[in-house]
Amino acid sequence: MAYASISTIALSLGVLGAFVLLAMGANNFAASQIGKFEIAVFMRGNVNLAQAQALAASIEKMPDVASVNVRSREEEWATFKRSNPNIESAGLQSNPIPFSMVVKVSDASRTTYLANKIRTMDGVHTVNDGRDMLGCVMATARVVRGISIAGVIVLLITAVFIISNAIKLTLYARRREIQIMKLVGATNWFIRIPLVIEGIVFGAVGAFAAWVLLRLGGSYVSRLAERLPMMARFSSGVDPAVLALVLIALGIVIGAAGSFVSIRRFLHD
């Protein structure tokens, strides 16, 4: 029964931990994609470098603006000519590209607001904030976050239920010993404390076993990520030591609570 309880705790917490790590990785990936969105600002043709830099300084002072980078017209023109080598022979000799800048936003939810504000500034011709794509990505991130939270809650409740039943079966196998101890005059706390300590030990050992399983699975995924770089973006960012402490603490709490609640039935029989 002890082996059954520990293995049940290990598998339950292992499934819960794996889902939490996967959910955190998915949320981190969604957040990283949102953070890549930028506002592209294109100046009018008559704006010179000094005016573009002054406008960039004004934009950088706005709240929620992380940085502003003014692009070089010469570098943009050289890049355009490399991709279109026949452009000069076609009659376009001078550089027609206006000054532009890239605005990085610290809060992605403020991207549309800042883009609309930049559009009203003097010298600005076009502002591209990719609002349609940003809206889709942010909506997807909210769905992923909602599913993650709901899944963690459901799995946590399921794990508590399964672990409590496993501990209850362990106590049921010792019901005769409990009855004998009551007959010889043992108090309820004298009976309860060793069984609660046993539940704590089962929970801690099972949680450690779950951590070992997660570490083995994480090592396999890391080797797989070397072949599939896309998987490296789904990192949960959780330190293994922190994961071990959280799992062991959760196992101890569930084990102690399960033993404490389950023993009440046998003490009142």
Please report whether residue 140 resides in a domain: no
Q: Is 211 exposed, middle or buried (0-12, 13-18, 19+ CB in 10 A)?
A: buried
* One domain for residues 165 and 253: yes
* One domain for residues 261 and 158: yes
Residue 91 has a pLDDT of 52
Residue 172 has a pLDDT of 77
Residue 94 has a pLDDT of 62
Residue 44 has a pLDDT of 81
Residue 83 has a pLDDT of 65
pTM for this structure? 0.65
* One domain for residues 170 and 259: yes
Q: Which domain holds residue 216?
A: 2-31+147-268
Q: Which CATH number fits the domain that encloses residue 88? A: 3.30.70.3040
pLDDT, mean of each 10-residue run, the chain (269 residues): 80 86 80 74 79 83 82 68 59 65 80 82 80 73 83 84 79 79 82 84 88 84 67 69 87 84 71
Nearest residue to 256 via CA among 176, 186, 163: 163
Q: How many domains does the chain have?
A: 2
Domain-terminating residue out of 96, 129, 162: 129
CA 76 – CA 144 distance, rounded (Å): 38
* One domain for residues 236 and 104: no
Please report whether residue 75 resides in a domain: yes
Domain-terminating residue out of 80, 103, 129: 129
Residue 85 has a pLDDT of 62
Residue 115 has a pLDDT of 83
Residue 87 has a pLDDT of 59
